[in-house]
Chain A
Amino acid sequence: MPGLSSPWQLEPFVVAPAAVAAVCFFQGFVRLRRRGRADHASWARSALFTLGLSAAVLPLVSPLDELGDRFLLSAHMLQHVLIGDAAPALLLLSLRGPLFFFVVPEPLLRVLGRAAWLRRAAAWLVRPPVALLAWAGAYGGWHVPVAYDFAARHQSVHDLEHASFVVAGLLVWNLLVDPARHGRLSRGKRLAIVAALFAMGTVISDVLIFSLQPLYPAYASEAHRVFGLSPLRDQQLAGLVMAVEQLATLGTCAALLLLPELRRRRRARLAVARQPA
């Protein structure tokens, strides 16, 4: 079946950054463990990192890439949410704590530490309104049919599209996961970011699910229908993929933010109730 039987393509644009990230993680992981802090560099962290890196790389080098590029909008959407949402969330989760600084090689960390302009730029980028706007711009902008079709026709623009999803994902998940443990955002503010992301994502997924006609001419005009999916059904499926993926990632994030605190408060209430009058 065309698309599914496409060969794997080891694109340098994808493989090279992934290899650099893997090397950085490995040296940071080893350095931290050698210092006797295996608690901050557990094997669970390496599993999370591997999972995150796989979520970033596999959708771009596997047959899913061809399937999404040429045949199915739903496959393309799956690719986008994996590289732009699941991968950043998992990668940042794997780095949470001291490991976040150890993965940056020491000489580079020193250079970065001295570059005040870079620190200022980074501080500006990770401000919640900036990160949220970047996310809204990337997802909202690229899913406008004209932009989507233009990107599909031009490989360099397509690469830029994917890169913008990854960057936007890293920016917003940095706020939610707080890998450097700055603790700048309270639980409520992070929940507000979860809600804002979900609301923005819902607008896009609902447009795809509820549209009564195909919105992307490139997919609608494709004669070969993989899995027998009509263009409209494929589009609805794409919206569903986005909605379900967001429910899974943001829902898990909200649960992780809420449940420990609710348990803690419940224990505190019970302790007060047990105290003799």
Chain B
Amino acid sequence: MTGQYRFSYEPLFLGLVLVAALLYLVAARRQRPGAGRAATFTLGLLLVVVPVNSPLETLSAHYLLLMHLLQNALIADWGPPLVILGLTPEMRRRVAAAGGRPLGALTRPAVALPLWLVVWYGVHVPVFYDWALRDGWPLQLEHLLLVAAGFVFWWPIFAVPRRIEPLGVLAYLGIGFITTPWLSLAYVFSSRAFYSFYATAPRLWGISAVRDQNLAGILMNGEQTSIFFIAFGWQLLRVLAEEEEEQRRRDTAYFEGGR
């Protein structure tokens, strides 16, 4: 394949994903994850590795911000939570134990959320973004930061033992949801290109640099809204189930007390 649709690679991620897959296979011999869990883990890994080792990498690194943000969304917002969900509770417990205090401190909600926001907004600052695109190697750093921040953000929600109770998760997700969309809205409302790299890049599909940026904002906003709604809805169901259980306990205590 040639031209804009050729494959490009970020070997760092091929290596990391290979190591993760091997570790999972070793752990799976003892933990026996179900087919659904294993598929979730595999999908998560694919969402981290494929966007940066495919024609999407070429399109994003040379032509369109839209494709770059699609790539960032997949590796940072979708891959990490799926990978974590693909681990059995016992695997998560072991990861937490292996990570020890540093992982515990890094994934405290009060640390994880600001850290994730700093990375998310920080890597999109034009100076950094343009540098990463022009020099090439920092692009891997950008993606590594995004993937790491994604894991740090989602870990407290799914960690075993539980780091936050379901009501707290709702607050955590709510704050995340309120604080993230401003970057995408800036892209949507902009009437000039923020990144000189894309402003001077060859135009693809007849999309101007500003329209590319507007579309990128729409994509990013839609993607983030979807994942937050899914996560929020899922947690809400857990809260409602807990409330129902609590009510059942109270009813039982009341009727047994009345006898």
* Chain A residues proximal to chain B, CB less than 8 Å: 186-189, 191-192, 195, 199, 202, 206, 209-210, 233, 236, 240, 247, 251, 254-255, 258-259, 261-262, 265
B 217-256 to A, binary, CB cutoff 8 A, 1 in contact else 0: 0100110010001001100100110110001000000000
In contact, B240 and A189 (Cβ under 8 angstroms): yes
In contact, A188 and B188 (Cβ under 8 angstroms): no
Inside 8 A of B236's CB, which chain A residues have their CB? 188, 191-192, 195
In contact, B174 and A254 (Cβ under 8 angstroms): yes
B171 close to chain A: CB less than 8 A: yes
Can you show 10 pairs from A to B with CB atoms below 8 A apart? A188-B239, A191-B170, A191-B236, A195-B229, A195-B232, A195-B236, A206-B222, A209-B218, A210-B188, A251-B178
Known: A186-B240, A240-B185, A265-B165. 9 other contacts (CB 8 A): A186-B247, A187-B239, A188-B240, A191-B236, A195-B236, A210-B222, A258-B167, A258-B174, A262-B168
Inside 8 A of A233's CB, which chain B residues have their CB? 189
In contact, B218 and A210 (Cβ under 8 angstroms): yes
Complex alpha-carbon distance, A265 and B168, angstroms: 10
Whether A236 touches B240, Cβ cut-off 8 Å, given contacts A262-B167, A265-B165, is: no
Complex alpha-carbon distance, A187 and B221, angstroms: 28
Which B191-224 residues have C-beta < 8 A from chain A?
218, 221-222
A20 CB, min distance to chain B CBs, angstroms: 37
Complex alpha-carbon distance, A265 and B167, angstroms: 10
A129 CB, min distance to chain B CBs, angstroms: 15
In contact, A258 and B170 (Cβ under 8 angstroms): yes
Complex alpha-carbon distance, A206 and B185, angstroms: 11
Inside 8 A of A210's CB, which chain B residues have their CB? 188, 218, 221-222
Which A-chain residue is minimally distant from B181 (CB atoms)? A243
Inside 8 A of A236's CB, which chain B residues have their CB? 188-189
Complex alpha-carbon distance, A255 and B229, angstroms: 17
Complex alpha-carbon distance, A192 and B229, angstroms: 11
Which A-chain residue is minimally distant from B168 (CB atoms)? A262
B76 CB, min distance to chain A CBs, angstroms: 21
Which B-chain residue is minimally distant from A211 (CB atoms)? B218
The one of A192, A251, A261 in contact with B167, judged by C-beta atoms closer than 8 angstroms, is A261
Inside 8 A of A195's CB, which chain B residues have their CB? 229, 232-233, 236
In contact, B225 and A262 (Cβ under 8 angstroms): no
Inside 8 A of B165's CB, which chain A residues have their CB? 265
Inside 8 A of B240's CB, which chain A residues have their CB? 186, 188-189, 192
Complex alpha-carbon distance, A229 and B89, angstroms: 54
In contact, A262 and B171 (Cβ under 8 angstroms): yes
Whether A199 touches B229, Cβ cut-off 8 Å, given contacts A189-B240, A236-B188, A251-B178, is: yes
Which B-chain residue is minimally distant from A189 (CB atoms)? B240
Complex alpha-carbon distance, A247 and B188, angstroms: 18
Which B-chain residue is minimally distant from A230 (CB atoms)? B191
Inside 8 A of A199's CB, which chain B residues have their CB? 229
Inside 8 A of B232's CB, which chain A residues have their CB? 195
Inside 8 A of B229's CB, which chain A residues have their CB? 195, 199
B 157-174 to A, binary, CB cutoff 8 A, 1 in contact else 0: 000000001011011001
Inside 8 A of B171's CB, which chain A residues have their CB? 254-255, 258-259, 262
Complex alpha-carbon distance, A254 and B235, angstroms: 14
In contact, A186 and B188 (Cβ under 8 angstroms): no
A212 CB, min distance to chain B CBs, angstroms: 8
Inside 8 A of B170's CB, which chain A residues have their CB? 191, 254, 258
Which of B174, B239, B240, B247 gathers the greatest number of chain A CB atoms within 10 Å? B174
Inside 8 A of A261's CB, which chain B residues have their CB? 167
Complex alpha-carbon distance, A61 and B69, angstroms: 45
Inside 8 A of A258's CB, which chain B residues have their CB? 167, 170-171, 174
In contact, A202 and B225 (Cβ under 8 angstroms): yes
Complex alpha-carbon distance, A259 and B165, angstroms: 13
3 tightest A-B CB contacts, nearest first: A188-B239, A188-B240, A210-B218
Complex alpha-carbon distance, A192 and B239, angstroms: 10
Whether A251 touches B174, Cβ cut-off 8 Å, given contacts A188-B239, A202-B225, is: yes
Which of B165, B167, B222 gathers the greatest number of chain A CB atoms within 10 Å? B167
In contact, B243 and A188 (Cβ under 8 angstroms): yes
Inside 8 A of B174's CB, which chain A residues have their CB? 251, 254-255, 258
B 107-129 to A, binary, CB cutoff 8 A, 1 in contact else 0: 00000000000000000000000
Inside 8 A of A187's CB, which chain B residues have their CB? 167, 239, 243
Which B-chain residue is minimally distant from A247 (CB atoms)? B178
In contact, A206 and B167 (Cβ under 8 angstroms): no
Inside 8 A of B178's CB, which chain A residues have their CB? 247, 251
